[in-house]
């Protein structure tokens, strides 16, 4: 793993302290780095209406999109948890090159979205 990717993971870990997770008490942080070097952080944000909560990696990606970044503009993401199934579809959509995440047990590994979501689904082209 590159030093830059390890730093990204460390940023995710630092920001996880700001997660809003009063229901699960499971704090997750994420940090996504664009190809131009800008980094966007995210945390999970829960809600009393449980299904409305948002995951850390999605909140980081939303921040990048608000700043104008699009699929293909983002190089790597660090996440302090193994991404959930729905987030794997987001990572596929944004075409991250590398996903650096903590596996259950704490080992930090690097994978591609295709490793995490084989046969990822795409919207079919209009005929």
Q: What is the largest CA-CA distance in the chain?
A: 47
Closer residue to ligand THU in complex, CB, 39/79:
79
Which stretch in 2-10, 49-57, 91-99, 103-111 sits in contact with ligand THU by CB under 6 A?
A: 49-57
Stretch that binds ligand THU, among 1-9, 19-27, 68-76, 89-97 (CB under 6 A): 19-27
Per-residue binder mask for ligand THU (CB under 6 A), 56-95, x = binder: xx-----------------------x-xx--x--------
Q: Which stretch binds ligand THU (CB under 6 A): 32-40, 48-56, 68-76, 118-126?
A: 48-56
Q: Are 105 and 77 in contact (CB under 8 A)?
A: no
First to last CA, the chain: 42
Buried b (16+ CB within 10 A) or exposed e, 37-51: eebbbbbbbbeeeee
Candidate residues 6, 13, 21, 38; the one interacting with ligand THU per rule CB under 6 A: 21
3-state SS, 55-100, equals CHHHHHHHHHHHCCCCCCCEEEEEECCCCCHHHHHHHHHHCCCEEE
Residues with catalytic roles:
57
The footprint of ligand THU (CB under 6 A) covers 21, 24, 26, 28, 44, 46, 53, 55-57, 81, 83-84, 87
């Amino acid at each position: 793993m590159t030093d830059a990717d390890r730093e990204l993971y460390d940023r995710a870990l630092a920001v996880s302290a700001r997660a809003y997770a009063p229901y699960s008490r499971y704090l997750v942080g994420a940090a996504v780095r664009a190809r131009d070097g800008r980094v966007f952080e995210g945390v999970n944000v829960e809600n009393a209406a449980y299904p409305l909560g948002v995951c850390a990696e999605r909140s980081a990606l939303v921040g990048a999109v608000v700043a104008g970044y699009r699929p293909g503009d983002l190089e790597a993401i660090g996440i302090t948890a193994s991404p959930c199934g729905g987030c794997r579809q987001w990572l596929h959509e944004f075409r991250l090159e590398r996903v650096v995440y903590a596996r259950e047990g704490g080992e930090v590994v690097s994978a591609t979205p295709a490793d995490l979501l084989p046969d990822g689904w795409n919207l079919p082209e209009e005929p």
